[in-house]
Structure 1
Amino acid sequence: MKQKIMILFICLIFLISTMPIFGLADERFSDPNDNYRLKVQYLNDGRLPPNPGEMKDYIILKNPVNQEKIEYSPNRIITSINELIIEIIQNLDDDLILGYLEDITAFGPRPTESEACQQAGEYIYNEFESYGLEVRYDDWTYSGYSGNNIEGTKIGTNETSDAIYLICAHYDSVSNSPGADDDGSGTAAVLAAAYLLSQYEFNHTIRFVAFDGEEQGLLGSHEYAEEASNNGDNIVAVLNGDMIGYAEDSEQASYIKIYEDSASEWITDATQEISQLYFDYLGLTIVPSGVAYNSDHASFWTYDFNAIMYHEYEFNQYYHSPQDIIENMDLNYSTRVSKLMVATLSELSEVQIVNTPPDKPIITGPTTGVEGEEITFYVSATDAEEHNLYYQFDWGDGNKSGWLGPFQSDEIAEASHIFEEISEYDIKVQAKDEKYGKSEWSDNHHIIIVENLAPEKPIITGPTFAITGKELNFKIGATDPNDQDLYYYIFWDDGSYNNWDGPYPSGEEITFNHTYTKGGSFTIIAKAKDDLGKTGNQDHLKLFVLKTRTQSDTIILKLLEKIISRFPILYNIIY
């Protein structure tokens, strides 16, 4: 009997050890990604993203055709941290995302076919072009609307690969909203990806796409996906970011939803593995959230492409309203989701390094200046590969210089700027090489701009008695409080004048010559102005000129000068 009990006990132990715990399969014999999905399924609240805000009722969002599960594609197993990816996402920070968000929302509401939407499209096109991408407008007309998708392409280095990986968002908004989160956040992620990844090389081709017409029913992306299908484009994976910047607390900001169809689960699996490998840099937990047809990824499902959508965990209560502004976003959350998208894209398209960006530039120049004055600054940087360099100055007053160049590595370049307002400014410079590798920004160069004060009143010295026909020498000098060069206007009171002679250094006494041909009493007037045209008060000198008749006139003149020098009160009586 004891022996039978012992055998039964051993059998029970064996059965318990092989049974799943809490409904989860033993990880040694199951797909770890399926296991992960089971562990986090309680986080999925079943909420779907909102429908496009201005979609006409008769536009039907098509269901995807291909629902076949792909276990993993394209045979790339993510098992270890890639130092290049760490380098990339560490350069994607809040300031970068904020800059793009400010630029995008500055256009105001961007409904499809509006001037603001067109201007936003031009801005995105110019940004892509400045990164050295192959750029095109993808014009479309569909369902009574017309618009422009903006596409930038980074060609892969593997000539045997026709694979294309695509990151996208929509840059249009509803009519009453500046669209910061919907979908400025996704557009900022695409722009940041284009900026950073343009500095690296990849085995496979990457497309950076900003869609128009999303709020009218995914119109731009529908036409794009249809065209890609007709062209036979091998788009392997699409990463769509739509509303990725809102969270009400730190817990919500630790989750990101991903919408997927069955065929596209492998992309979610890949991004989940990325989120775990780089968790210290991302701090995000992936929440697979099933199928949703409410954003541009669904257009790709319609044409049998694999695509997923990244979407904030807590729905933004301000969406499609005037309050969808940057201030109502969680900027750091938007940055971390952007990092996740960029890291996933970099891994799938197989990042490589070819070009080393230039070193951080060094900027020199004045530390003080005057409002309205053109001020020159100097910059240089070293490129390890001796590529020619271009420099862009951020003047700290809302203006940038644009890219200046080319200059040789270590060559000193100069640029000038006029500060119109009295204030303090921090100037910085970035360098990029001819391979589009960009340096980090220089250290700030601080400058104080002060008021342009008028020159002080000039002082005129010279003879007070003279005779006609003799060249007279007068000395005139003034000081400028801002130490600018000076110009002098001199009225000789005989119908002639010197019209702003100069420039002369501030504080230097200048000799001017003049000859009178008629006798009489004259009042010489002098004024000074600075480089910027600001004029000070005038000074005057009184002069009595005798008409020359005989040699005795000269004797009389000298006698008068001696008498008046002894009795100055006579000077006022004569004049």
Structure 2
Amino acid sequence: MTKDPTTPPGSAPLEVPPADTARLRQHVEYLAAEPRSRLRAPEGMESAETYVRDELTAVGWRVERRPFDVRWQVGSTDRHGHRALALKPRLHRRLRGANLIASLPGSGTGPAVVVGAHLDSVSGSPGADDNASGVAVLLETARLLAGTPAPARVVLAVFDMEELGLIGARQAARDLTRDGGVRGMICLESVGYYADDPGTQRLPVGFERVFPEASATVRAGGNRGDFALVVHRRSSAAAAQVWQRAAAMASPKLPAVLLRDPRPDGPLGLLIGLAVPPANHLGRSDHAPFWNRRVPALMLTDTANFRNPHYHRSTDVPRTLDYHRLTAVTAATALTATAWPVP
């Protein structure tokens, strides 16, 4: 493990655990062998769910399958394409799916830090980056944390139907905030695609005006897609800094750009996003339902369609990912989950 030399005197040093690059590749290659969707590719979804459950169980986690049956949900379509979620609205009459929730035996019942990733992909895409990469990081994080004493209780959540409008995460956020509470949440959303060439990183329309500091950082790096983006709010700013420090200590080192969403946690933040479209991009994954329930949360991402030309396409396949950088994402995530700052 690598220790953080910048830890303040008197504090326990942060230690970045070594992740296994080969295991990450194995997970992605299995999960992204075919599309995964409860509606459009049920066999692929069932196979992926079984794989995840078996992998978690094998390293000592207790896995609970939590089915849900919901009606008249405002969401989106899961048809492929580069359009943002907010531009693909749909009203779902009825949806039946299931989340996987895992915990370590004997980890207690207090408020948890949730590490989550969605399992489904859009229609016609094997979804290597979106989001087999996130699930692979979750599985390797599970292995790193198994048997390791941690100051915080960690719960792993594998969400269903993210591509239909965060349907599974809405159910999980409601359930987990009741089951002993949630003190923090880390969302893994498309974390495996990186590009070192100048100009490979794009920004959403209006982004530079609303987020000038983060935009300046990207421009100073030649608009290279060589970093992880850590989206946070005021409530999770300290956790974002922990993740950034851990990624800088990982092997290989991974630069992280911190981006603060200025909106408050709770329903008001959701309403403000409707009025400020650039801010809406920051709530396009499974952390948003936790924000809406006033849970401090991070979204880790490679920025998806603003970098990856294979986003939501049939070409989003395992060979396009950078597994060494995915190793750094895993190490930083495992550390942050166990060292989530106390408010």
- TM-score of the superposed pair, with normalisation by structure 2: 0.71
Task: Give the RMSD, CA atoms, in angstroms.
Answer: 2.5
Counterpart contact for 2:236–2:296, Cα < 8 Å: yes
Matching residue within 22, 34, 46 for 1:118: 46
User: Of the two structures, which has the highest relative contact order with CA contacts closer than 8 Å and spacing of 6 or more?
Assistant: 2
Do structure 1's residue 309 and structure 2's residue 302 form an aligned pair? no
User: Displaced runs of 4+ in structure 1, greater than 6 A?
Assistant: none
Provide the C-alpha distance between the structure 2 equivalents of 1:78 and 1:265, rounded to a whole number of angstroms. Answer: 22
Per-residue Cα deviation, 1:63-114 (whole angstroms, up to 9, x for no partner): xxxxxxxxxxxxx9995644xx34x3x2x132010011111112x1012342
Q: Which residue of 2 aligns with 1:146?
A: 96
Counterpart contact for 2:119–2:158, Cα < 8 Å: yes
TM-superposed CA distance for 1:335, in Å, is: 1.9
Matching residue within 40, 54, 57 for 1:129: 57
Counterpart contact for 2:247–2:328, Cα < 8 Å: no
Residues 77 and 269 (structure 1 numbering): CA distance in 2 closer, same or farther, change over 3 Å?
A: farther
TM-superposed CA distance for 1:123, in Å, is: 1.4
TM-superposed CA distance for 1:141, in Å, is: 2.0
Q: Which residue of 2 aligns with 1:98?
A: 25
Q: Which has the higher helix share?
A: 2
Q: Secondary structure at the match of 1:348?
A: coil
Q: Which residue of 2 aligns with 1:341?
A: 333
TM-superposed CA distance for 1:275, in Å, is: 3.4
Instruction: Please list, as runs of the form range in 1=range in 2, the aligned pairs for 1:357-436 lying within 5 A after superposition.
Output: none
TM-superposed CA distance for 1:150, in Å, is: 0.8
Q: Which residue of 1 aligns with 2:289?
A: 299
Residues 334 and 81 (structure 1 numbering): CA distance in 2 closer, same or farther, change over 3 Å?
A: same
Counterpart contact for 2:20–2:140, Cα < 8 Å: no
Do structure 1's residue 194 and structure 2's residue 142 form an aligned pair? yes
Per-residue Cα deviation, 1:166-187 (whole angstroms, up to 9, x for no partner): 1111010001100000000000
Provide the C-alpha distance between the structure 1 equivalents of 2:165 and 2:9, rounded to a whole number of angstroms. Answer: 36
Q: Which residue of 2 aligns with 1:541?
A: none
Per-residue Cα deviation, 1:140-179 (whole angstroms, up to 9, x for no partner): 123321111111102565x6x7131111110100011000
Matching residue within 188, 192, 195 for 1:241: 188
Residues 304 and 156 (structure 1 numbering): CA distance in 2 closer, same or farther, change over 3 Å?
A: farther
- TM-score of the superposed pair, with normalisation by structure 1: 0.43
Q: Kindly provide the amino acid, as one letter, of the partner of residue 96 in structure 2.
A: S
Q: Kindly provide the amino acid, as one letter, of the partner of residue 139 in structure 1.
A: P
Provide the C-alpha distance between the structure 2 equivalents of 1:100 and 1:120, rounded to a whole number of angstroms. Answer: 10
Provide the C-alpha distance between the structure 1 equivalents of 2:300 and 2:110, rounded to a whole number of angstroms. Answer: 25
Q: Structure 1, unaligned stretches of length 5 or more?
A: 1-75, 351-575
Provide the C-alpha distance between the structure 2 equivalents of 1:267 and 1:140, rounded to a whole number of angstroms. Answer: 31
Q: Which residue of 2 aligns with 1:219?
A: 167
Q: Kindly provide the amino acid, as one letter, of the partner of residue 170 in structure 2.
A: H
Q: Kindly provide the amino acid, as one letter, of the partner of residue 340 in structure 1.
A: A
Provide the C-alpha distance between the structure 1 equivalents of 2:44 and 2:20, rounded to a whole number of angstroms. Answer: 27
Q: Secondary structure at the match of 2:100?
A: strand
Tell me the percent identity: 24
Provide the C-alpha distance between the structure 2 equivalents of 1:150 and 1:121, rounded to a whole number of angstroms. Answer: 8
| Worse overlay, 116-125 or 315-324 | 116-125
Work out which of the two has the higher radius of gyration on C-alpha atoms and give 1 or 2: 1
Provide the C-alpha distance between the structure 2 equivalents of 1:227 and 1:77, rounded to a whole number of angstroms. Answer: 39
Q: Which residue of 2 aligns with 1:290?
A: 260
Q: Which has the higher strand share?
A: 1
Provide the C-alpha distance between the structure 2 equivalents of 1:310 and 1:205, rounded to a whole number of angstroms. Answer: 20
Do structure 1's residue 162 and structure 2's residue 110 form an aligned pair? yes
Residues 228 and 95 (structure 1 numbering): CA distance in 2 closer, same or farther, change over 3 Å?
A: same
TM-superposed CA distance for 1:264, in Å, is: 2.1
Provide the C-alpha distance between the structure 2 equivalents of 1:177 and 1:189, rounded to a whole number of angstroms. Answer: 20
TM-superposed CA distance for 1:202, in Å, is: 1.9
Provide the C-alpha distance between the structure 2 equivalents of 1:93 and 1:189, rounded to a whole number of angstroms. Answer: 10
Paired residues in the alignment total 264
Q: Secondary structure at the match of 1:172?
A: coil
Counterpart contact for 1:105–1:180, Cα < 8 Å: yes
Q: Secondary structure at the match of 1:317?
A: coil
Provide the C-alpha distance between the structure 2 equivalents of 1:170 and 1:346, rounded to a whole number of angstroms. Answer: 21
Provide the C-alpha distance between the structure 2 equivalents of 1:201 and 1:300, rounded to a whole number of angstroms. Answer: 26
Q: Secondary structure at the match of 2:310?
A: coil
Counterpart contact for 1:156–1:203, Cα < 8 Å: no
Q: Structure 2, unaligned stretches of length 5 or more?
A: 1-7, 74-93, 198-220, 262-281
